[in-house]
Structure 1
């Protein structure tokens, strides 16, 4: 067995030590530059209030994603204790006909969610102005498999909600949001944002639009 005290053994240990030292130095450098593990992008605030109901599917998805991205951030139900406020302004779901056969039968529907929100600090400074996000999916229609299609619509709706949640989190963790939150002096103030917001009347986890209940005579295909 080769002794660790031989020149070759000492050389191996020295080489291993150098590699370890280089790795430590690289990690320190990346940390100093603001590098973080993929999936974690801390928000500039530690407490967040939202009027999106916690017991809704959308609200639960949002809370999980925010806390996964920013582990130090916690949601609070007391708006006076929140450093920032995420306000849902509207959340509209529609189901529209997009393809009609020569016989006048619906062949395809488009499921659409339009979500509007804004982000303010506890003084009402508008960190993110009213922002509209849209998610759409198309689904073929089969009058002979309505129950299966209803289940497919429900699954698509959940997928679309998660897509919107991911985009909301990306917006909130953007560098410009951090800069705006830390330097709000020149930002506009939304006076209504200093009041306790009402729970939104629609959206936030209501049932997906249903082709089983949608009237055939409804030209817009809208359903809430």
Structure 2
């Protein structure tokens, strides 16, 4: 006895439906195991205060990334209204000579950005101890293209700060920090926070010292604030 063959379109539809059901089932299984789509890690707190100025490029981008990562988290201007405080302890940008020609002219500069920060809850419990993150880049120097090099340095600093922001957010949204927040009562308290409202720190957004690039033989290390 011969069975009639199914139309090709029916076979395609059946296979497509099967694949869709398998995909849905796999996604459901991953979700049950705690899997989240890349880019979003909802935090267990709804309000955050940071002393990193919102009107700086660094502060504005940091807020955008945290909001995108944890849509249920919003920033507040009054630290007393926040469930957690993200405190910038320091932020430095350095430009250092790493290679000098036989004529005494700078051939290569090394750029670096370093931030030190911590995360505490409303009572001052330390959820993330003071943490230092840094990044460096090297850039060839050409005294005949000063303006172009200054623009390139500015662009590199922007890329480096974005890298630091991404790393900061990964630390803040790590399972360790979430667990610390849930068990904050067992953690030590930062007494300095209890006595300080962490007023916003200002930042001049990548100010480039033109005199430094015109005078390559000056003190090799300078901070940008």
Shorter-chain TM-score tier = 0.7 to 0.9
Residue 221 (structure 1) aligns with: 221
Q: TM (normalized to structure 1)?
A: 0.87
CA drift at 1:209: 3.5
Cα distance in 2, alignment partners of residues 173 and 17 from structure 1:
37
Superimposed CA distance per residue, residues 182-222 of structure 1 (whole angstroms, 9 cap, x where no aligned partner): 11122110022233112335xx4533433x22254532321
Could you say what secondary structure the match of 1:192 adopts?
Answer: helix
Q: Find the counterpart in structure 1 of residue 71 from structure 2.
A: 71
Unaligned regions of 5+ residues in structure 1, if any? 1-5
In 2: Cα distance, 1:118 partner to 1:27 partner: 35
1:80 to partner: Cα distance:
1.4
Tell me if the contact between 2:104 and 2:217 (Cα under 8 Å) persists in the aligned partners: no
* Structure-1 residue corresponding to 2:57: 57
- Match in the other structure for 2:206: 207
Cα RMSD over matched residues? 2.2
Query: Structure 2: how far apart are the matches of 1:155 and 1:122?
Result: 37
Between structures 1 and 2, the one with greater helix share: 2
Q: Which residue of 2 aligns with 1:165?
A: 165
Matched-pair contact (CA < 8 Å) for 2:106–2:216: no
After superposition, the Cα gap between the structure-2 partners of 1:90 and 1:68, relative to the gap in structure 1 and judged at 3 Å, is: same
Aligned match of 2:28: 28
Deviations 1:112-165 (A, max 9, x none): 111100000111000111111111111111111100001001101111110110
Gaps of 5+ in 2: none
Count of aligned pairs between the two proteins? 215
In terms of mean alpha carbon deviation, does 91-100 or 214-223 score higher?
214-223
Structure 1: 4+ residue segments shifted above 3 A: 6-9, 11-24, 215-218
